[in-house]
Structure 1
Amino acid sequence: MLTKFQACAYAPTVASFTQCVEEFTRCGRKVVPAFVKDLPLQFWANVYFRGSRYGEMSSNAVESFNSWIREARHLPITQLVDSIRVNIMRQMTKRRIKAQAWPGVICPKMEARLVKAYNKGRSWLVSQSTDNVYEVHSFPSVMVDVGKRTCSCFKWQINGFPCSHAVVAIRNSGLDLYDLVAEFYHVTAYRNSYEQNIQPIPTIEKPPFNPSDFVIQPPSVK
């Protein structure tokens, strides 16, 4: 059931979403309607989401943060904040140094995804309609508009990243493939994200630490 629910969430078109929901309902019978009735579609289904998720469909980042501060979260608030500051300082420096060594235009993981999409559509035929519109003869056939950055499979619009159909069409158009990838996937954007730094806070000039100053007493009760 989890797999079928995931298929519903990732479905890029209304038709595919409806089909996935029907399969999900048949699998769960009476449980599924009760489960989804209080879940607004725009909050969990790709096809109804109002905005751009750029491929992110879970709260894994939050879970990673919770794991990141697992040892520090039991400290007093001032020490907790300082521990988070040091972790962020280390992480930003590590990623800033790593990104400086990237030679490509887009981030390495996205470059690998682009190569995978290119290899997937190498055998597909493409027919040109206008300067920007192409029909990609895959299964099923789709329409790609490289000018508007759209594909009738809707994956390009949802993720901001060219799908395999779009890669084939762009290859035939003669345009630069990297120019049609959303700027958020570019190495420049990644470097800009970690360009700033977190300043150290030395303790040499701070007053002595007294643990009793940070103990919060329980409220008075009758």
Structure 2
Amino acid sequence: MATDRRYYYCYSDVLPIVTLVAMECVNVGLNTLYKAATLQGMSYHVFMVYCYAVAALILLPAPFFSYRSSVLPPVNFSIVSKTFLLAIIGFMSQILGYAGIMYSSPTLSSAISNLLPGFTFILAVIFRMETLSFSNKGTRAKFLGTIVSITGAFVVTLYKGPEVIQNLSSSHSHSPSASLGSTQDNWAIGGLLCTSQNVLVALWFIVQVQLHPLVISRNRARPN
């Protein structure tokens, strides 16, 4: 019995957190790799094709090895149309995100990604997936966190700030590391594009919940 509880705790609480942390690390690494590739002249359209090709090769064998505890519903027009909408939203969010990194930097993209929980909460309230009740402590915490995250993202977007480490000579001004920066105008444009990306990602989460309720639900019963 104690072993079952420990297994359930690791499966339902520890594993999702580890997965989310790993996903954020992968996203930061991918954004940095993309910025380095674009500095060498690669188009973000070509970079996205490579990303989708590698992802398809990795995920294609996944259904043959994944655990499935329930029978999937039959494929119909509603499922196909929602899947197509999900793909369009995800594709557009990646285009906006990579365009934003091209105008700014991976650091700004990672900082603005903190807006994602706030946007997800706002859309969940709009689509009546969350109840906005200020008498509830959880709702007040989510509302306050949304305001803080949006305010911080606007500060990061609209104010770049001075360089912390100045170049000692002009010979280093043309190095690849120096080109990671951007002008103030490009910084603001990149921030707005990254913000739009997070809005679409939050919408992508909402559509995914509507399309795949069995994926996000817990298929295992809580042990006594």
TM-score of the superposed pair, with normalisation by structure 1: 0.28
Comparing both chains, which one has the higher relative contact order based on Cα–Cα distances under 8 Å and sequence gaps of 6 or more?
2
TM-score by length of 2: 0.28
